[in-house]
Each structure stands twice: as C-alpha cells, then as structure tokens.
A and B are shown apart, each in its own frame.
Chain A
C-alpha cells in the first residue's frame, strides 16, 4: 500500500496551503494595488489617469506631513526607547537582583495589550481637564498641558504611548542579546579590575549593537505603519500633526473612497519600507562581521 505522497513530492504538499494563500492574498493584491494606483475611482467606475495619482501625491502636503511626522517619531521616540530598553535590560540582568522575573513581567506587560485598548486608556489619562497626568502636574505646581489638542502635545502623547507599549517588548529582545554575550568576556574584564560602567560601555553595548540596530529599524518600520494610536488617540490631528501614512491611507481609501489614490499611497509606503529593509539587511550583515 503506497501513499501518493512520496519523499520527492512531499515538500510541495507541505507548502501547498501557504502557496495558495500567498498567491491569493499577497501576490494578487500587490499586483492589483499597483494597477489601481494608475486609476481614479469616480462616478462608480475606475478611469485610467496614468501617473496622476503619484503626481498629486508628491504635491500633497498631508503625505509629506505624514512622512515628517514619522521622522519626528523616529528621531525622538526610537532613540529614547532603544536606550531605555537597553538600560532596563542591563539593570534586570544584574546578578544581585532579587525578584528578577517580577520586574521582567511588569515591564513586558504593556506589550500584550491591544493597541486600541491602551490608546483608549491613554486618552483618558491625558485628558486636559480630568486626566491624571495633568492632575499630577497641577498638584506639583505646574500648569496642565493640553495634550491631545496641541501640535506638540499630541505628538508627545503618541510618543509616550508608543514608548509605554513597546519598551518592555524591546527590553526582552535586549535581554536575549545580553544573555548571548559570552561570560568569558566579563570574567577577563573582572580580572583586569574593570568597573561596572567600563564593562557596560566596553563589552555589553558593543556586543548588543546589532540588536540595537534591529530594534531601531523594526521600530521605524512599525512607526510608518502606525494606525491604531493615531486613529484612536489623536485622530491624526491637530492639523495632521500626528497622522501617519497608514492612517492617511485609511482615510483616503475608506472614508473618501479614493481607492486609486490610496493604492498609490500604499506603494509609496511599500517603497519606503523596502528601502529601510534593505538597509537593515545590509547593516545587520555588517554587524555580524
């Protein structure tokens, strides 16, 4: 009795479901998205407009604003988070620490919450008149900040939100990196009488550099696709100060029905992320050498 599945054809059987899924829900939409980006949806039908959508996009202030918002997050939020997660990782991995698991879990917990859920909690915490954050500020003698309704207040709110949600997650990755450092390095440093700081600066940081880079780039890619926070917490405002490409794409396609333009925006996003991924690939390869 022989099965039709042999050693030769087995891999194709194993791969079949994924191939079908990829073709239907990845290859087809990507191709179709490219096609749609040359059309406009008007009067119930698609009309060919050539490169017009891309031309409009290059002149579209909101598109550029969404990119510059991402750059702001990138410059401010990513370094803060990477450094914070490195510090946490280093501190948690110290030998003397008691209840290590508790700290680790505590810090990691934010990253299991739904983005929508935490954005809603933050919205309340950041409320101008009734939020706890302003309550504390006022109690300490400061003036309350109009967090969600001013340009920098709103940006800072998003930055705070993302930092809260992802620092623990990245800390875990850092810890993995720190644990992977050969202990002999530290032992020989100890023999040389190196201080804690010298060991951190001289061994830990250089050794986890590739991880830091990985975290930075994945965080950047994540920021480009940010949607939930912008949608719930600030609605992209004020004056699009916090809108991201993902959010703008949603508005364009699914609130204004400009499917062609949304497709063009999505291709811009694809290209930007593609470039970043190549950079990441090149740099992490470099880090290993």
Chain B
C-alpha cells in the first residue's frame, strides 16, 4: 500500500514538473515579447538581455508611429477580419444548412466537390488570383483579401456536421406555422446554432487576423497593410532595426487575439476540435 502511494506521489510530482515546464516554455516567448516592448533596442541586444519591464514603452510607440500608422494597420486588420468572419458565418451556415437539411439534385456531388477542395492548398491559386485581381482592378483592396479566403470548405463542413443533428421536427413545425424557408433558417435554425457559430467565428477570426502570404502578395501600400504584413515590413528593414519597436508592434498584433481568446476560450477549443474529431 505504501509502495503504491509512493508511486502515485512520484507520478504526481513528475506530472506537475512536466506540465509546469511545458507551460513555462509556452508562455515565456509571450512574456519576453511584452517585456521587450518596453525596453530599448540596446537593452534587448545586450549580452545579458533584460527580462524585466522597462520604461521605454512610450518612446517605442512614438518611433513605431513614425514608421507606420499603427492605428491604420489595426483598422485594416479589423475591417478585413470582421467582414471575413461575418460573411463566413452567413455563407457557410447557409451552405451547411442546405447540405444537411434538404434533399436536392446534385447534393452528393456538391458535397463531394466541397470536401475535395478542402485539400487544395491556397498557394496553388496565388499566381492566377494575382493576375485576376490585377485585371479586375481589385489589387490592393480589402475584398481581394477577404473574398478568395471565403471559398473555404472547412466552414461549410463544420456547420453541416453541427446541423445534421438539428431536429427535423422543429423545422417542420416552423413550416406549419407559416415561416418561409429563409425565415426558418434565420429565426429557427441559426439561433440554435450558437455554439457552432461561435466556434466557426473564432476559427475564421483567427485565421484572417493572422493571414500573411496572400495579403503580402496583393496588398501594395502601407495604408492597406494588415498586422502580419506590417510586422514583416518592420522586420524587413536592414538599416537600424529597432527591436523595441518591433516587439511593441508584435505585442499590439497579439493583444486583440489574446483578449478574444480569454473571453471565448470555449469556442476556441470547440473550433479546434470541430476540425478534428467530427468524423
């Protein structure tokens, strides 16, 4: 019995030590980023780096604003992310609804097609999309970033899976009550899909907020940059890179998503799991 207890104690100790190390390793880069945002370049690039908060935050902010209109970058990121998330919730749930609750010609084919596109990497489309956007005059616009990203099967799939279990009797009852098809969707089905919509929304929000390669290609001017592109431009300067400024910009890019995560943890986790364990 004592041996058993000892073994359990040992396991507990190992568990706590291991998990603590893991959490520390996960969080340290965040801490370092925030700390560095308040330090000077010289403090960051010293042989024994400073690991406590400094007093250079305002100077860094001032210098950052000289290089880049960070407010504008925030607004750009917000406009693209919010519109993308909103449209995704609308279009993907509509499509998911059609594929789960209706019988119609070509349904199987369409679902198969959508599922197939899930494996197509976005990078395959960048060259022709770049040419297309230039031709129709959409280069360097919000819609050039937002709309192609919406052609995304994951959202449809997630919504379809969640709607499959929605009771058909409720839909029938609504029809009998005289609701139109649109009314049923918007007033009966969608309000009951809050968890799934939340998961989808968070997932989409995150992926657009962090979107880099395509915006890098299609956004040409400073005034249109989203956070990742703006960050890469700060980093791309060779002469007199100021890491205090860079880390401040990185912190500012991370804070909103961190905040949203802390508020909507459950939906985050659901979003991740939704992608994995459904079938």
* Contact, chains A and B (beta carbon distance below 8 A): yes
Which residues of A64-84 are within 8 A (CB) of B?
A: none
Q: Is the CB of A15 within 8 A of B98?
A: yes
The docked-state distance in angstroms from the alpha carbon of A216 to that of B121 is 17
The A interface is mostly helix, strand or loop, or mixed, namely helix
Q: Is the CB of A122 within 8 A of B277?
A: no
Chain B residues, Cβ within 8 Å of A28? 128, 132
Which chain A residue has the least Cβ–Cβ distance from B148?
A25
Residues of B in contact (CB 8 Å), total: 88
Cross-chain pair count, CB within 8 angstroms: 269
Closest beta carbon of chain A to B98's beta carbon, Å: 4
Contacts of B48 in A (CB 8 A): 135
Tally A residues with Cβ within 8 Å of B: 94
Asked whether, in the complex, the Cβ of A36 is within 8 Å of the Cβ of B127, the reply is yes
Residue B29 at the A interface, CB < 8 A?
A: yes
A14 touches B97 (CB 8 A): yes
Given A3-B181, A5-B181, A110-B29: A33 touches B12 (CB 8 Å cut-off): no
Q: A117-B254, A180-B277, A269-B121 are in contact. Are A17 and B126 (CB under 8 A)?
A: no
Give the segment of B17-25, B58-66, B68-76, B193-201 that binds chain A.
Answer: B17-25
Assembly CA distance A142 to B260 (angstroms): 41
Which listed residue, A15, A125, A172, A227, touches B273 by the CB 8 Å rule?
A: A172
In the complex, A259 Cα to B277 Cα: how many Å?
38
Q: Which of B11, B92, B128, B209 contacts A263 (CB 8 A)?
A: B128
Residue interface mask B224-249, A partner, CB < 8 A = 1: 00011001100100000001001100
Residues of chain A touching chain B, judged by Cβ–Cβ distance below 8 Å, are 3, 5-8, 10-15, 17-18, 21-22, 24-26, 28-30, 32-33, 36, 87-88, 91-92, 94, 96-97, 102-103, 105-118, 120-125, 127, 129-132, 135, 164, 168-169, 172-173, 176-177, 180, 196, 211, 214-215, 221, 224-225, 227-228, 231-232, 245-246, 249-250, 253-254, 259, 262-263, 266-267, 269-270, 273-274, 277
Report B's interface with A, CB cutoff 8 A: 11-12, 15, 18-19, 22-23, 25-27, 29-30, 32-33, 36, 44-49, 51, 90-92, 94-95, 97-99, 102, 104, 107, 110, 113-114, 117, 119-132, 147-148, 150-151, 156, 175, 180-182, 185, 206, 209-210, 212-213, 217, 227-228, 231-232, 235, 243, 246-247, 250, 253-254, 257-258, 261, 265, 268-269, 272-273, 276-277
